Chains A and B, each alone.
Chain A
Amino acid sequence: MSDTTLARAAFDARLHELKLHDLASHEIDRLWKSRLKQLEISARLDSHLDPTLEAAVAFSLTRNNP
């Protein structure tokens, strides 16, 4: 199976889990296109990001602001 086939199966399973597998077909198509774009971006990030880079997460701890 191609990567896309596996990804599509996982996508459909997630929609079932959310009980949203019977959305209108144009909405599912739109979500699937969005999912493919996520996978493309994610693969690019995995290939070029330094694994030791600090994430830009918002949480911070100071004496005044727990």
Chain B
Amino acid sequence: MNALTELSLTSLAAGMRAGAFSSRDIVEACLRRIDALDPQLNAFLRVESEAALIEAEACDRELAAGKPRGPLHGLPVAIKDIIDVAGMATTGHSRITIAECAQEDAFVVQRLRSAGAIILGKTALHEFATGGPSFDLPWPPARNPWNPAHHPGGSSSGSGAAVASGMAPAALGTDTAGSVRHPATACGIVGMKPTYGAISRHGVFPLAPSLDQVGPMTRTVADNALLFDACLGHDPRDPTSMAAFEAASPSVGKDIRGLRIAVLEEFNAEADGEILAAFDGALSLLKDLGAEVVPVTCPPVSLYNDCARLLIQAESFAVHKRWLAERALDYGWRARTKLLAGAFIDAGTFLQAQKERRRLTVALREATAGFDAALCVSSFHLPARIDDDDAIDRTYDRQARIAFNLTGDPAIALSSGLSASGLPLGLQIASHPFHDATVYRIAAAYEAACEGLVDSALQPWRRPAATEAL
């Protein structure tokens, strides 16, 4: 039998229901894996061992009594440490808020608990979800489980590393400029940025509120849909929260014959050769599955990235303005310089960027009108070495993710193979607002067709941890 830490959320749920193992078995396996691997990967800022085990035992008793809480009953989930969990500090991986204890769960954490999830701990991130891996913070940056000398992507870096290493079967991240999809791509897992407003952000510390979204991170598309569905729900305390939203899980497993998929060639233009070759392979697979794949023209991705740059700088400076005035030196150098950049943007420029946002959103709508979905790469480059500051800086400016934060469209990042150097490659599937289920449908079909594309022995969640107690 596979180790419990290799199994998907859906397999864990089925195995628990069948009595093959208990919630306590799963949580203990995750805790052993964390003990063995986290000293090298730095994915967690805080692990809630005792509380998770107590909760697991309660779940086991409830299941034995025939009263499961919901679809995530007894399953552990890790939470990016920018999302409130009652009784724990929401540090944002920063000295600034290191002691800010949350009084209540974020709405999305409440939703997960209602579905039966067990909160395993809080994961590392780039300071306040910006900047990049910084070595001058109270905790070291997370590392890539495929090769710890490399960056795991960010800003939801700990969530990506935790899921890809098998320390947790699922995690939540946040995505303002690709911060769920970047670590998903760099760590070879699945990361979803839902339609803006699909998941409440109440209790989530903001970076740039007009772009921020919470997103699920898992190792399979079906798991991601399961987590997404559990996160849904109208929250009157988030003014962007939608009243009703279509569940994604029912669309997983449906065929994609006859679906029309636009290829955003402008978004791929600057990607490395290996990433493009894998992308071309994905196009062939989707055609073999019966989708109609058509190249379309849209504005260059650099225009989307430039527009988002101004908005993120201005909005994040507004969030941090008081702390930057009073405690600027308490930030790490990367976040300090990223956040301070917004101090130089005048109101007229900010509003011009908001006009550009509307223009670019309309342009993407026109380019993809009549299509069910759109396809493009995720990163332009392989994950950089974590000690190469210049390469890491380029990572954030040169990618095809931000466009979907600007437009509010749902977009998922998933694996498209491995590079010759053994690092993950990835692509994105996007769709129109509220069509998250279509994204999952295509992603699941593609994932199924990719079976065997990556040698499973190489996947870090399947690798034995040398010091893991069995």
Contacts and interface: CB of A to CB of B under 8 A. Distances in A.
Given A24-B333, A65-B239, A35 B351 contact: no
A49 B19 CA distance: 62
A41 B302 CA distance: 11
A56 B357 contact: yes
B333 to A, nearest CB: 6
A45 B352 contact: yes
A46 interface: yes
A8 to B, nearest CB: 12
Contact of A37 (B309, B336, B352, B361): B309
Given A20-B340, A54-B358, A38 B345 contact: yes
Contacts of A1: none
Nearest to B306: A41
A49 to B, nearest CB: 5
Contacts of A54: 355, 358
B325 A18 contact: yes
Interface string A11-39: 10010001110011011001100110110
Interface residues of A, number: 29
Contacts of A49: 352, 355-356, 359
Nearest to A66: B239
B337 interface: yes
B88 interface: no
B324 A18 contact: yes
A55 B337 contact: no
Contacts of B340: 18, 20, 31
A14 B343 CA distance: 8
A53 interface: yes
A58 interface: yes
A58 B352 contact: no
18 contacts: A20-B340, A23-B328, A30-B337, A34-B344, A35-B341, A38-B309, A41-B310, A41-B353, A45-B353, A46-B352, A49-B355, A53-B359, A55-B355, A56-B355, A56-B357, A56-B361, A58-B209, A65-B239
Interface of A: 11, 14, 18-20, 23-24, 26-27, 30-31, 34-35, 37-38, 41-42, 44-46, 49-50, 53-58, 65
